[in-house]
């Protein structure tokens, strides 16, 4: 039988939790590793990386790593990164909600919505053009 990796199951669970809170979440799976990337509100809230290993090359703001016991946050590659264990999904969700609240306070809700809906409107317009043609 086909077995789904733990990273994909956690990604699906996080996506469901964030969707209930009004976030738009898209999932991307890495071809070479067991990493799963979640794009929250089309990048307006940052990206979540779920993996079984640490990677300093990615610029994801939120990193969930299997059996991680190191520093909770660090600044590398000009990006402030936060790290979580697989057992701390609640803390991750809370930090994402804080990130959204900070972004709305910084840019205003109208500009935040423009950033959040930018990619969705683009793909909807492409689909509408294809239907017309």
Residue-wise pLDDT for 78-116, tens only, equals: 889 999 999 999 999 999 999 999 999 998 999 998 888
CB within 8 A of 101, min separation 6: which ones? none
Residues, the chain: 133
Q: Is the pLDDT of residue 121 over 80?
A: no
Which pTM does this prediction carry?
Answer: 0.81
Sheet bearing 73-76, strands edge to edge? 25-29, 36-40, 47-51, 62-65, 79-84, 73-76
Q: How far apart are CA 88 and CA 83, in angstroms?
A: 10
3-state DSSP call for residue 59?
Answer: coil
Q: Is the pLDDT of residue 42 over 70?
A: yes
In the structure, what pLDDT confidence band is assigned to residue 26 with cuts at 50, 70 and 90?
very high
């Amino acid at each position: 039988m086909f077995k789904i990796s733990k990273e994909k199951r956690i990604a699906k669970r996080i996506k469901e939790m964030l969707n209930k809170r009004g976030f738009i979440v898209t999932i991307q799976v890495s071809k070479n590793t067991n990493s799963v990337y979640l794009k929250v509100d089309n990048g307006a809230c940052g990206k979540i990386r779920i993996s079984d290993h640490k990677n300093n090359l990615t610029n994801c703001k939120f990193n969930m790593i299997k059996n991680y016991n190191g520093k909770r946050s660090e600044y590398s590659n000009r990006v402030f990164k936060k790290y979580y264990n697989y057992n701390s999904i609640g803390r991750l969700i809370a930090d994402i909600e804080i990130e959204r609240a900070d972004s709305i306070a910084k840019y205003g809700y109208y500009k935040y919505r423009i950033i959040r809906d930018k990619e969705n409107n683009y793909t909807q317009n492409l689909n509408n053009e294809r239907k017309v043609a």
